Structure 1
Amino acid sequence: MILNRNDKCWCGSRLKYKNCHLDFDKKLEALKNQGCIVPTRNLIKSKEQIEGIRKSAKINNGLLDLVSENIKEGMTTEEINKLAHEYTISQGGIPATLNYDGFPKSICTSINDEVCHGIPSKDVVLKNGDIINVDATTILNGYYSDASRMFMIGEVTDKARKIVEITKECLNKAIESVKPWGFLGDIGAVIQEYAESNGYSVVRDFGGHGVGLNIHEEPFVSHFGIRGTDMILAPGMVFTIEPMINGGSHEIFIDEDNGWTAFTADGALSAQWEHTILVTEDGIEIISK
């Protein structure tokens, strides 16, 4: 759609185009003419949408805080699921994973060599030395937020502690690499460089993703790659960064019985941390963590 300077802006702000996204669009057009991949307008969240995502994230962050306060040895993953589900509902939210493409639970709980999409169960009991990722996605008034955290149960081995810490540092360095008008490929490059320099591998079958109006949106956020490549990171984009780092090979397989849970192919430990990021005019905002 071609807009005149005095038309209402396409973003829904009700401001005149010249006072809102005109300069933004000119910058994207110039980058496109240079051969860059630029985001489409539907990837740019409005102020109203961003505020809705923030409110959803308040519940999602509170859910993970509650898990952090209660998770312990002897607890079943179904008990964690119940805790998360009841909290989300009590705050007016909806667990986004529940019944998503048939997924049967309100969160994912992935332990030790489970890379992601572990299904909570009353038969899975947390043991001393386990590491576990709890991944939560919340819907509030149609807006989605997404994050995951690692937890170390009791006394873990140095090997287990290190992969949890290195994976968190991969996430931190990736977030530091996000610059308005920078490149999406920088994110994956930073994660891959840091993980591999420490003797770890990066899972390639999964990645981060746009989020906010749906559970999964464009763009796909690869956790390996080349600097200065892929889509331009424009202000208003909202996406997750969620590196999955393996202690051995990056190869994985999916459990044939449940069709969901991914495991490391060689049985090595795996860890993941996830934040939802907003690109702003002068940096980033961590919305969900």
Structure 2
Amino acid sequence: MDALLTALSYAGLALLLGSVLARRWLTPGQPGLGPGAAGLALLLLAWAGQTTVTLHALGMTAAPDVLAYVTSTATGRAMLTGLLGATLLLAVEVAAWPTVLALLAAGVTVWGAAGVGHGDGHGTWVRTLHAAHAAAMTVWVGGVLSLVTVRPLGPALARRFTPAALGSVVVLAATGILMATEHLTALREWTASAYGQTLLVKLGLVALALLAAVLVRRAFARRRGARIQLVREALLLVAVLGITAVLANSAPPGGHDSGHTTHLNP
């Protein structure tokens, strides 16, 4: 259940931030506001579900317990921060306010999301890494999903998206390596721990997604079959989000938990 709820939150981030990115830069005016609203709804559903699961496990389900959780725990405050940023981002998009406000709201959103899970409990530096990692993944996933749905689909869109996609891959690689060294301190932990094994699966899926991206570029160059290749890349990226959700709910060998279980004073 925890992994499913985490996956829903990642899907919400990708839909909300990715659709705004596309509307502002990649495919102006497309998609509509529906994906952004759906992303905000998924974030609210996922984090409300995680709060419910955590408090139910603690036997604390009264309304005051919920209020205490979201206002006095690091995870609860991170969720509130993320929802505040997401709501502001959608409002900025509806009102067509300047892009700088959209970037600010997006930053608040990913900073909040980075405090839910392994980004909580390791300090500002690791949380910043998680925020940058989430932002880069959102740019990649959101851009691909936008290209899949846009009509017409031409080489000019691919050329426009390429710098952002490459930048996202570089940020993902750099932050991923740094986060891995925080959570896996010995080489043997990569294969001897469930966390390390799950991370290896994720890296394999990312490698397949990169291969799919290369095939997309070739399809655009041939002007044939680009949409089919984009769909394959999108499916692989969705799989990456899924395995990342599993990873976020797996305890690293060092013993730090996923950040959802928080002790409250009765």
Q: What TM-score, normalized to structure 1? A: 0.30
Find the structure with the greater CA-based Rg: 1
Structure with bigger strand share is 1
Higher relative contact order (CA 8 A, sep 6+): 2
Structure with bigger helix share is 2
